[in-house]
Amino acid sequence: MIFGEVFEQFVASCPVCVMFRALMDHMFSPAKLDALFHRVAKKHYERELLFSTLVDLVTQVVTRSSKSVHAAYVKARARISVSIRALYDKLDHVEPCTSRAMVQHSAAQASELIDLTDGCCEPLIKGYRVRILDGNHLGKTEHRLAVLRGTSAGALPGQSLVMLDPQRMVIEDVIPCEDGHAQERLLLTEILPTIRPRDLVIDDRNFCTLAFLFGLMARKAYFITRQHGRMPWTPLGEPRFVGRTETGQVYEQDVELRHPATGEPKRVRRVTVKLKKPTRDGDKEIYLLTNLPASRVSAVKVAELYRKRWTLEAAFNELTLHLRCELNTLGYPKAPLFAFCVAACCYNLLAAIKGALRGVHGEEVLKNKVSDYFLTDEINGHYRGMMVPLPPAKWEVFQTMTTKAMAAQLKRWARCVDLENYPKHPRGPKKPQRNRPNAQFQHVSTWKLLEERRQKKRSKPKPVGAGA
């Protein structure tokens, strides 16, 4: 009992909660977070309120240990010297680049721990580093800002592009955008610099642009993307039947794409899947474009890999249901985007925990018998009570622990976990839904309204004699 009798009692009764808090101190120690802030922040600054304090307070809300930012502030007011108004002002000014760097930091730390605990999943395809890309729009916020009180439309606080590593189940990168109405494609230019040779990017048709596909090929990377309806292409042969998947028949043909600026031609494959059942949008066929070599990856395998895109949808579901990634009380776009990134970091902490469990109990056991709901429910239910006899000072030993030692400790705790406490209950086949008329919702972009207000203030003439 190297950490004391009380600590070991919590290890026995709620080991996942203990692992989560220990990882919080190891991966997000105040020294690491504040150093990251000083390295990345451009205009934002620290004085009395540290960036690490902001992360700590929002983490309590994201993990549902506190009901709101204000409730978390009240509990921690003895160690926070600023007012609640100053706290909200800091949240409203966290720069997107800082939020993104925080997610990248958590992904790097979690990935290293997962590798050391032998917790990686089986690769989707050998010889390639697979990445799944998708966009996420945050839900509408309350109309607390003055610019929103004159409209009944839903206020969109922003959106983001998210990149998932499916082998480690880690959110590797988040590209935040304050404008909820902006085209997701505009953010792709920030994704390309992160791509390495032999990366395989799987994405949806929203990202199927010639500029992005040629950008990937220029970096000697690969793609599987659903073809956008307006994508220009030239057939180089007739579609030929090549096999079947669970969802339908697969056809393949060679096509030619041309660079939008230079006209340079590239030969790629177009895979058609004639579905047994139409999609929810009514599509009976889907078309996939890929530059993977046919000699190594068959068209049937391409179709199966594209279905793995839903892995990221499952991650979004976990962020929304098991964690709390959307704080609708935060109106200024930077604040809810920061909260979403904190939720992504907590998701990566859970990924490290699940990696340790996979390393000890096996991938199939964790996938088929362990419920993410019960894992997060243990954290939500026990965290506040655990921190009473074990205050933050008791956890500081994990802040200076090496990554190798932390991985070994996670595996020791993972052996103590009784997986019967986290049972998964697979649902049966879905029943066909009745056709319902789509409700028409109107939304506005909070960022655009704020920009319009700023422009009006700048263009407003000064009164006579002002500044004299």
> Which pLDDT tens digit goes with each residue over 280-337?
888 899 999 999 999 999 999 999 999 988 888 888 888 887 888 888 888 889 999 9
Please enumerate, as own/partner, the contacts of 415-421 that have beta carbons within 8 Å and a separation of 24 or more.
415/360, 416/11, 416/12, 416/15, 417/15, 417/16, 417/357, 417/360, 417/361, 419/357, 419/361, 419/365, 419/366, 419/369, 419/370, 421/374, 421/378
Q: Please tell me the distance from the alpha carbon of residue 11 to that of residue 164, in angstroms, as a whole number.
A: 30
- Taking Cα atoms as reference points, which of 434, 415, 282, 302 lies closest to residue 361? 415
Q: Would you list the DSSP string of 30-43?
A: HHHHHHHHHHH-SS
Over pLDDT 90: what percentage of the chain? 59
Both tokens of 447, joined, read 């960022």
Nearest residue to 55 via CA among 40, 39, 36, 42: 36
Concatenated DSSP letters of 406-421 = HHHHHHHHHHT--GGG
Please tell me the predicted confidence (pLDDT) of residue 16: 93
* Sign of torsion over alpha carbons 105, 355, 379, 29: negative
Q: Give 99's DSSP letter.
A: H
Give the DSSP H/E element, type plus range, for residue 450. Answer: helix 446-459
Burial of 78 (0-12, 13-18, 19+ CB in 10 A): exposed
In whole angstroms, how far apart are CA 31 and each of 27, 38, 87, 110? 10, 11, 20, 18
**CA pseudo-torsion sign 405, 354, 343, 18:** negative
- Helix, strand, coil percentages (3-state) for the chain, rounded to 5, are 45, 15, 35
Nearest to 339 by CA among 350, 323, 353, 352: 323
Helix (H, G, I), strand (E, B) or coil at 48: coil
Could you tell me the pLDDT band of residue 341, with boundaries at 50, 70 and 90? very high
Number of H helices, E strands in the chain: 16, 12
- The DSSP bridge partners found for residue 208 are none
Q: What is the pLDDT of residues 62-105, one digit of tens each?
A: 988 888 999 999 988 888 888 999 999 999 999 999 999 999 99
pLDDT tens profile 115-168: 999 999 999 999 999 999 999 988 888 888 888 888 888 888 889 999 999 999
pLDDT of residue 433: 65
Identify the pLDDT of residue 434: 65
Q: Could you say which DSSP state residue 215 is in?
A: H
pLDDT digits over 366-402, tens only?
A: 888 888 889 988 988 888 889 889 988 889 999 999 9
Surface-to-core class of residue 329, CB atoms within 10 Å of its CB (0-12 exposed, 13-18 middle, 19+ buried):
middle
Q: Which residues contact 431 (CB under 8 A, 6 or more apart)?
A: none
pLDDT of residue 57: 92
pTM higher than 0.85: yes
Among the residues of 267-371, which ranges form H helices? 299-307, 310-321, 334-361, 363-369
DSSP bridge partners of 114: none
Asked if pLDDT for residue 1 goes beyond 50, the answer is: no
